Amino acid sequence: MMEQVYLAIPLAPLVAALLAGLAGKWIGRTGAHVVTIVGVAMALVLSLFVFKGQVFDGSPRYNATVYTWLVSDGLSMQVGFLIDHLTALMMVVVTFVSLMVHIYTIGYMHDDPGYQRFFSYISLFTFAMLMLVMSNNFLQLFFGWEAVGLVSYLLIGFWFTRPSAIFANMKAFLVNRVGDLGFLLGIAGVVYYTGSLAYSDAFQAAPEIVKHSMVLLNGYAWNAMTVICICLFIGAMGKSAQVPLHVWLPDSMEGPTPISALIHAATMVTAGIFMVARMSPLFELSPTALSVVLVIGATTALFMGFLGMVANDIKRVVAYSTLSQLGYMTVALGVSAYSAAIFHLMTHAFFKALLFLGAGSVIVAMHHEQDMRRMGGLRKYLPITYVTSLLGALALIGFPGFSGFFSKDALIEAVGESHAIGAGYAQVCVTAGVFITAFYTFRMIFMTFHGKERMDEHTRAHLHESPWVVTLPLILLAIPSVLVGWFTVGPVLFGGFFDGVITVAPSHDVLGHLGRSFEGPWPFLCEAFRAPTLYLAAAGVALAWFLYLKRPELPEKITARLGPILAVLEHKYGFDWFNQQVLAGGSRLLGYGFWRIGDEWLIDGTLVNGSAKTVGWLAGVARRFQSGYLYHYAFVMIIGLAGVLAWFLWQA
Amino acid sequence: MNFPFLSALTWFPVFGGVLVMCLGDRRATQARWLALCIAVITLMASVPLYLGFDTHSAALQFNEQLAWIPGLHSTYHLGVDGISLPLILLTTFSTILVLIAGWTRIEKRPAQYVAAFLIMEGLMIGVFAAADALLFYVFWEAMLLPMFIIIGVWGGARRVYATLKFFLYTFLGSVLMLVALIYLYLKSGSYDLAALVQLPLGLQQQTLIFLAFFAAFAVKVPMVPVHTWLPDAHVEAPTGGSVILAAIMLKMGGYGFLRFSLPITPDASRELAWLVIGLSLVAVVYIGLVALVQRDMKKLIAYSSIAHMGFVTLGCFLAFSIVAATGHALGATLALSGAMVQMISHGLVSGALFLCVGVLYDRMHTRDIAAYGGVVNTMPIFSAFMVLFGMANAGLPGTSGFVGEFMVVLAAFHANFWFALVAGMTLILGAAYTLWLIKRVVFGAVANDQVAALSDVNGREFFVLAVSAVAVLALGIYPRPLTELMEPTLRHLLSLMMISKL
């Protein structure tokens, strides 16, 4: 009976996606959103049912095959489900945010000619994401991984007549493919050492894998587990947009806002975080790999936050914030605080989806204006959007009691407890990041909703709150953004929620260490007043208030003084330049050189046509000997005769 | 099962083609319908072959043996195993698509056009079914003629150059193969493949024979550096010719490696595996980069074909490298199986991509990428297909393009981390050239008046593309029936490769 439920959860959105996509013309706009919303709602209800069974009724974890995809050489590749606490939590988060986005889309995409197509895509995405999180093996994980990438590609390029959109979607796909290459090699490594693609076999064989080493370059042997884990993490860096594979995420904002919320904030980009947490039995055995994870995450958390401080496009601010928060989650993974990473993933899914959808509501009200310099004072016109966005912002900066507070504070404390290589650097990054986060978040809130109204008259005259299909999801997302942390911090982080799912070596168990002094959410909250992070956040908000509300003329002056630093930030540290000029340009140049010189000049010109010409030339020369004129032949005969005679005479 | 299925599959389309030709070009419609009927009957005749095939056996099945040239000890011996059966099915499937795709598009000598494809179908099936080396050679060379004519008569502006290049390139390789076959006959006194596989040979003999075979098969695959005939041939060939060339004819090279080189000269194959593996990896990277900068859609897909076929040759020869690295053959069958799956998948995907180019070419009469842009605005259904096939070409899981590449990369890791890494570069390069093509052709605003005037696919084109799409997805979602069919044969082949003849 449960098998059918598990199967129905991803298939319901898939069927809905096919209906809306292939039969969109016949079922119409209403038909398309009804069928997809029903599909996703079904998935949500069933996911909640599964969650209840797993978490409250103590159902055993489920690990079984749906069908065997392929068998070769004794290697059985299957499609199957693994249902445990981690999966159940992810399923609920994915289907809940997806449902909210579906409803929101009715309002947001109301006038778009691609209405049915859009619903088809987001439902298809829900299917792919569920396949990813529910997988019990690497094959299906990779399928889900690439399938969400495909839908992301289709959705970033949804407005396919815009040059920037179709550039951004190709960029996203290719950068992700770089990560996927690492991911694929990691999977190949697992198969090599375990002979299986199933998670359970890999986890079981993990202690054996550590005993192997690989010589990749002459002289230095790498531990096999380190190689596998770093390769897998390269995949996570692509999907979860970690430096230097982060470049695609800001550009992905070219897609419609609902998908920025669903795919590029709440769900798909967290797939890498989820994957590493899922693979904790492997990563725990490689401190080297964990330190790599830690340093990359810390770098992303801080340096992407800086970019959020100077962006003026409202969606880009939220996008850089997402990058930075993904960095936080990655840091948590690096210090073996996997539960904290998943906890932050969950709270972030709610408040970041909320912030994106709030930004979308603003953008619609502003007639698709995204530049915050032309906004201001919107709280009067968009009260619900304002309040919900403010709640989301408070959750994001870790306002005491809000969901983001619990997840971020626990995460930062976990970093403080860690003795991993790189933990000191990470602590500086994540602590400074708190100030940065508070600053850019409230800079956005102030520039958008407070202060002088800087839009033109026409826009101002048409400002009004969005319809209920837009505000309802905002409200429904605001509730967990505020409350979910309070109720779940105890059980999820310190209550053994992930026992038997996530493995942590005793020597790395920072959360276990913190858990010994945890006495419930209220003392945890009081404790925060003694830590510097809270005051850093307050300082960030205060600075934003001072610069953008109190003395709005100041930022311009500061900008003028900080020319070089600003230039670095505005060029986003030069990653785009390097990728486009050196990597893409270099590849094209190399390809062109190979083609013109290798194929056309050397092989075709010299060898193939050259040998044909040589034959032609030889034949041409040989032909001269057969002119057909008798006197030529007679002349040659006489010469020959004379030669032979001369020879004989000479001999004699 | 006494009915001679293989002879029927071979000769029915050949004689059918002759019949169609006799009907004459003036009765074009009748000729087309007759040709289609013949192709459909051929496809249906290949179904019992699949249903009656014993998937647990590595032996040749549906054997037919008749006296042919007693003086040379050569017999008319046909049979199929797990390697040839999927390729025969691919042939009967692709031929129908090609006939439908060219339905009204060919106005010049239409009866002769369809007749050429039918005759070629029969001869290609003969190549895959032949169990006698001389018979194989006869089919192998005879098959060139219809393709030579198809490119030479119905081709583009530079068709004479292309068709000569195609013919001379492949013929030169084949002649060396004939020398090797004659040598083997003189040693063994038989042309029967089973006897040749058993024939003991010294390493030097094997090496020379291997190189002679290599000349024939490497050109056919094609491998770097003997690949330059393919882009020219594709560019000049009519759509149907390109489809058959990509879908079936390139597979002859991979088939030759599996059928001849590996079992007949196992020691030389082992000694020279580095050469083949090296060239295969070069194909993935070098050709991938060259594909990136192509301006002609067909050329781009042709180069992409070469890069994808690199996985076939890589998979064929990985076994030796795996044994050298690990001391056992675990992963070797996976590599061989991956090579086979890649052949079938590439047949479907690149065939479909050439059909897509054909659809565009029929409307705009240019293959120049720069002449397009924003096709999705006027041809949304077509664009959906093109994106699907593009994704399959880029190896997206859930499509057939993923299966073979995944298997070969997994197997390559057993041999060497760097092999897997370089082969895996196709993930990036394949996506880069394919998606860039799609970006420039399909997406964007309407680029010019011709694009604005485009009409979406008609029923006939829709049917052809939809059937291809179903096949691509089916193989991607459930490849097990295919690999199950091949597994015993490939295991047997591996055991032959592992036994030294020295």
Picking from B169, B397, B443, the nearest residue to A146 by CB comes out as B397
pLDDT in tens, B143-171: 989 999 999 889 888 888 888 888 888 88
DSSP assignment string, B237-284: S-HHHHHHIIIIITHHHHHHIIIIIHHHSHHHHHHTHHHHHHHHHHII
Q: What's the predicted TM-score (pTM) here?
A: 0.93
- For chain B, percent of residues with pLDDT exceeding 90: 76
**Rounded-to-integer distance, Cα B255 and Cα B370, Å:** 37
Q: Are B293 and A588 a contacting pair at CB < 8 A?
A: yes
Q: Which pLDDT belongs to residue A51?
A: 94
Q: Which pLDDT belongs to residue A605?
A: 82
In B443-482, the residues whose Cβ lies within 8 Å of chain A are 443-446, 477-480
**Rounded-to-integer distance, Cα A401 and Cα A406, Å:** 7
Q: Which pLDDT belongs to residue A104?
A: 93
Quick one: pLDDT band at residue A600, thresholds 50, 70, 90?
Answer: confident
Amino acid of residue A357: L
**Rounded-to-integer distance, Cα A544 and Cα A438, Å:** 8
Q: Which pLDDT belongs to residue A582?
A: 87
Position with higher pLDDT, A580 vs B126: B126
Query: Is the Cβ–Cβ distance between B344 and B403 less than 8 Å?
Result: no
| Contacts (Cβ under 8 Å, ≥6 apart) of B148 | B163, B166, B167
CB contacts, 8 Å: B443 with chain A? 157, 160-161, 166
Structure tokens at A123: 């439902």
Picking from B286, B431, B442, the nearest residue to A177 by CB comes out as B431
In A177-236, the residues whose Cβ lies within 8 Å of chain B are 177-178, 180-181, 184-185, 187-189, 191-192, 195, 214, 216, 227
- For chain B, percent of residues with pLDDT exceeding 70: 100
Position with higher pLDDT, B107 vs A444: A444
- For B223, which DSSP code? P
Q: Which pLDDT belongs to residue A490?
A: 84
ipTM surpasses 0.85: yes
Asked if pLDDT for residue B1 goes beyond 80, the answer is no
Where would I find the beta strands (DSSP E) of A173-301? 213-217, 220-223
Q: Which pLDDT belongs to residue A40?
A: 96
Structure tokens at B272: 């020279």
pLDDT in tens, A169-214: 999 999 999 999 999 999 999 999 999 999 999 999 999 998 888 8
- For chain A, percent of residues with pLDDT exceeding 70: 100
A628: region left, alpha or beta (phi > 0 left; psi from -120 to 50 alpha): left
Q: To which residue do tokens 């079984």 refer? A: A64
Q: Which of A51, A69, A68 is nearest to A2 (CA)?
A: A51
Q: Which pLDDT belongs to residue A612?
A: 82
| Contacts (Cβ under 8 Å, ≥6 apart) of B431 | A173, A174, A177, B394, B395
Q: Which pLDDT belongs to residue A19?
A: 94
CB contacts, 8 Å: A184 with chain B? 406, 409, 424, 427
Q: Which pLDDT belongs to residue A185?
A: 95
Q: Is A604 on the interface with B (CB under 8 A)?
A: yes
HSE (CB half, 13 Å, CA atoms) of B26?
0
CB contacts, 8 Å: A150 with chain B? 391, 396
Q: Which pLDDT belongs to residue A445?
A: 94
Q: Compute and round to an integer the Cα radius of gyration of chain A.
A: 31
In this prediction, residues B272-299 reach a mean pLDDT of: 94
Amino acid of residue A276: V
Quick one: pLDDT band at residue A361, thresholds 50, 70, 90?
Answer: very high
Long-range contacts formed by A131-135: CB under 8 A, 24+ apart: A131/A10, A132/A271, A132/A274, A133/A87, A133/A90, A133/A91, A133/A94, A133/A271, A133/A274, A134/A6, A134/A9, A134/A10, A134/A81, A134/A82, A134/A83, A134/A87, A134/A91, A135/A80, A135/A81, A135/A82, A135/A199
With b for 16 or more beta-carbon neighbours within 10 A and e for fewer, the B177-204 pattern comes to bbebbeebbeebebbbbebbbebebebe
Picking from A154, A174, A214, the nearest residue to B417 by CB comes out as A214
Asked if pLDDT for residue A1 goes beyond 80, the answer is no
Q: Are A166 and B418 a contacting pair at CB < 8 A?
A: no
pLDDT in tens, B24-60: 888 888 889 999 999 999 999 999 999 999 989 888 9
Q: Are B432 and A587 a contacting pair at CB < 8 A?
A: yes
Q: Are A72 and B337 a contacting pair at CB < 8 A?
A: yes
H helix intervals, B367-458: 375-378, 380-393, 400-415, 417-424, 426-441, 449-452
Q: Which pLDDT belongs to residue A38?
A: 96
In angstroms, the Cα distances linking A608 to A216, B161, B286 are 39, 12, 19
Nearest chain A residue to B422 by CA: give it: A181
Q: Compute and round to an integer the Cα radius of gyration of chain B.
A: 22
pLDDT in tens, A543-583: 999 988 888 888 888 888 887 888 888 888 888 888 888 88
In A66-105, the residues whose Cβ lies within 8 Å of chain B are 67-75
A499: region left, alpha or beta (phi > 0 left; psi from -120 to 50 alpha): beta
CB contacts, 8 Å: B391 with chain A? 150
pLDDT in tens, B176-222: 999 999 999 999 888 999 999 999 999 999 999 999 999 999 999 99
Q: Which pLDDT belongs to residue A456?
A: 85
In this prediction, residues A93-119 reach a mean pLDDT of: 92
CB contacts, 8 Å: A599 with chain B? 228, 290
Query: Is the Cβ–Cβ distance between A233 and A276 less than 8 Å?
Result: yes
Q: How many helices (H) and strands (E) does chain A have?
A: 29, 4
**Rounded-to-integer distance, Cα A465 and Cα A382, Å:** 5
Query: Is the Cβ–Cβ distance between A95 and B351 less than 8 Å?
Result: no
Query: Is the Cβ–Cβ distance between A332 and A262 less than 8 Å?
Result: no
In this prediction, residues B269-282 reach a mean pLDDT of: 94
Q: Which pLDDT belongs to residue A550?
A: 86
Question: Distance, in angstroms, between A368 CA and closest chain B CA?
Answer: 20
pLDDT in tens, A340-357: 999 999 999 999 999 999
pLDDT in tens, B330-358: 999 999 999 999 999 999 999 999 999 99
Q: To which residue do tokens 């393919």 refer? A: B230
Round to the nearest angstrom and report the end-to-end CA distance of chain A. Answer: 113
